């Protein structure tokens, strides 16, 4: 019998404010331990939290970006538990009244193969909507350092009070691949709207996965929560391991107990942290030190005005206005950097700044898309670069595409220009000039060249005229060779056809 895997994710995105959520201490990563721990961070007697508006603004941005409800009034609550890196003995979070509720993300799940290879599925992807239950603001804890203290534990409170947005999904995902696609989409989105740097190594984007299994159509099974997955690979491995383990347990007649588990990346296994019975009673209650968070319609509108065009909207525009395929549009909007680069190339290469449907702008858009998805991506990949590290600028690339469009250079010439640009810089016209890559488009010159070839190859011309059409390629080759590859191919074809016809 079949099993269905049910997954919900809780993602902690560290918000990119320069100061902490309830104090003015810096949030910069990597400082000496406790150098960014002010009186509030170490919870001295008598200190009080003051909410950072920047954190709220980022939460609103997120809510608007996923079409969610922005609560006009939400409440900060205290989550009480003792731990050495939790200085107040409680975490300030939001409980029954979160700032963001009821949104959704559309994700594209590769139809076949592993999610780790982007080429899989040859551009085919299934669209799926994952509902977002809520997103709430909270503060991060500090860090316990268990090494280097001779059996004691060191406490670093630099991270204590760093703002987090916890984004909770509905249990809408049915495979590790879907979970990864959703996590990646979120990861793209939070960076796209500039609320989180997305640095997973530094813990700026961490996932908890709630996993359960059931027979199709049955009620939800008992879930286990895998904590603190800080890479997409671990997320996928952990879910797959956990789901297999649950299925085996059930098939062997066992029962699943609600529990929190940790993933051990070295062994590729999940292991029990605590069961529901051992779970804390957090004794949530509204934090009397903070007023309810009120967000006016005006504030919401101001934040909305600050939002960039979102990936989904861009995709629709690329398809409808620029005539790109849905697949190309989704690749070009995989990151803000890619989309920005593409649009800058378009501006640099287009005859008009905003291309209109069906016109020359559409051709320019297709050309730009092809180059970005093709040569540029491949070269970035070969050199191990991110888009942001691309050695050529959109203006450089645009200047080259312009020369392709106006037939100054051929495709093979363009590849040469591109290679030179990538390695040594320079603008297209200078490179074309220096390397002599300009096509011959002077019809007089081409005709003279063709006349010479016809005169010198009378026998082949006769064969051709007698019906050996295949010889056409032979004449093209000769002509190209004679022009040192610079003849405009289309023009050459026209002239050859006309003259060979006699």
Residues that bind another protein (CB under 8 A): 39, 42-51, 78, 80, 82, 84, 87-90, 153, 155, 281, 283-285, 288-291
Cα(first)–Cα(last) distance of the chain, in Å? 74
Three-state secondary-structure class, residue 208: strand
Dist CA 427 CA 416 (whole Å): 13
The minimum distance between CB 173 and another protein, in angstroms, equals 29
Q: How is 305-365 classified by DSSP, letter by letter?
A: HHPPPPHHHHHHHHHHHH---HHHHHHHTSSHHHHHHHHHHHHHH-SSSSPPTTSHHHHHH
Strands 259-264 and 269-275, how do they pair?
Answer: antiparallel
Beta carbon of residue 43, minimum distance to another protein (angstroms, whole number): 4
Backbone phi and psi for residue 170, each to the nearest 5 degrees, phi listed first: -75, 160
Instruction: Please name the helix (run of DSSP H) or strand (run of DSSP E) that holds residue 98, with its range, or none.
Output: none
Work out how close the CB of 310 gets to another protein at its nearest, in angstroms, rounded to a whole number.
33
- Minimum separation from the CB atom of position 295 to another protein (A): 16
Least distance (Å) from another protein to the CB of residue 335? 38
Q: State the nearest-atom distance from the C-beta of 84 to another protein, in Å.
A: 5
- Compare residues 50 and 347 and give the one whose CB is closer to another protein: 50
DSSP 37-59: --TTTTT-TT------HHHHHHH
416 three-class SS: helix
Residue 320: count of CB within 10 angstroms of its CB: 11
In 3-state terms, what secondary structure has residue 148?
A: coil
Q: Which is nearer to another protein, 286 or 485 (CB)?
A: 286
**171-187 per-residue burial string, b: 16 or more CB within 10 A, e: under 16:** bbbebbbbbbbbbbbbb
Choose between 45 and 444: whose C-beta lies nearer to another protein.
45
Residue closer to another protein, measured from CB, 45 or 353: 45
Which C-beta is closer to another protein: that of 147 or that of 459?
A: 147
Judged by CB, which is closer to another protein: 78, or 223? 78
Which lies closer to another protein via its Cβ, residue 137 or residue 167? 137
CB of 87 to another protein, least distance (A): 6
Pair 374, 403: CB distance under 8 Å: no
| Contact between residue 140 and residue 162 where contact means Cβ atoms under 8 Å apart | yes
**369 within 8 A of 355, measured Cβ to Cβ:** no
Is the Cβ of residue 291 or residue 434 nearer to another protein in the bound state? 291
Shortest spacing between CB 37 and another protein, in angstroms: 9
């Amino acid at each position: 019998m079949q099993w269905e895997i049910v997954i919900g994710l809780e993602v902690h995105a560290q918000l990119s404010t320069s100061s902490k959520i309830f104090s003015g201490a810096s949030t910069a990563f990597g400082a000496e331990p406790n150098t960014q721990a002010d009186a509030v961070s170490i919870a001295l007697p008598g200190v009080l939290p003051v909410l950072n508006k920047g954190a709220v603004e980022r939460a609103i941005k997120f809510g608007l970006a996923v079409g969610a409800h922005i609560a006009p009034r939400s409440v900060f609550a205290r989550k009480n538990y003792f731990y050495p890196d939790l200085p107040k003995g409680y975490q300030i979070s939001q409980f029954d009244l979160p700032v963001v509720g009821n949104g959704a993300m559309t994700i594209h799940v590769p139809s076949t193969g592993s999610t780790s290879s982007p080429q899989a599925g040859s551009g085919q992807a299934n669209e799926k909507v994952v509902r977002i239950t809520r997103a709430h603001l909270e503060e991060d804890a500090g860090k316990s350092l268990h090494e280097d203290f001779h059996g004691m534990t060191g406490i670093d409170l630099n991270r204590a009070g760093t703002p987090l947005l916890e984004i909770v999904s509905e249990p809408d995902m049915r495979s590790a691949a879907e979970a990864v696609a959703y996590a990646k989409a979120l990861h793209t989105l939070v960076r796209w709207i500039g609320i989180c740097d997305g640095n997973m190594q530094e813990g700026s984007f961490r996932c908890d996965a709630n996993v359960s299994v059931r027979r199709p159509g049955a009620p939800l099974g008992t879930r286990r929560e895998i904590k603190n997955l800080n890479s997409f690979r671990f997320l996928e491995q952990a879910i797959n391991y956990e789901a297999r383990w649950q299925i085996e347990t059930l098939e062997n007649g066992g029962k699943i107990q609600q529990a929190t588990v940790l993933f051990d990346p070295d062994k590729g296994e999940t292991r029990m942290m605590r069961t529901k019975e051992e779970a804390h009673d957090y004794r949530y209650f509204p934090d009397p030190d903070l007023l309810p968070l009120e967000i006016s319609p005006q504030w919401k509108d101001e934040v909305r005005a600050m939002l960039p065009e979102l990936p989904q909207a861009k995709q629709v525009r690329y398809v409808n206005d620029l005539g790109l395929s849905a697949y190309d549009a989704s690749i070009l909007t995989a990151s803000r950097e890619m989309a920005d680069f593409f649009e800058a190339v378009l501006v640099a290469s287009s005859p008009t700044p905003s291309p209109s449907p069906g016109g020359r702008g559409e051709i320019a858009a297709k050309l730009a898309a092809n180059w970005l998805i093709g040569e540029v991506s491949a070269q970035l990949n070969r050199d191990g670069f991110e888009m942001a590290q691309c050695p050529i600028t959109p203006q450089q690339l645009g200047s080259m595409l312009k020369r392709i469009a106006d037939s100054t250079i051929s495709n093979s010439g363009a590849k040469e220009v591109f290679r030179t640009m990538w390695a040594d810089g320079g603008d297209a016209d200078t490179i074309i000039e220096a390397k002599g890559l300009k096509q011959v488009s002077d019809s007089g010159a081409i005709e003279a060249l063709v006349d010479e070839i016809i005169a010198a190859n009378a026998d082949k011309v006769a064969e051709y005229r007698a019906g050996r059409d295949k010889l056409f390629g032979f004449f093209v080759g000769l002509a190209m060779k004679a022009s040192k590859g610079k003849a405009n191919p289309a023009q050459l074809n026209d002239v050859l056809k006309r003259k060979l016809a006699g």
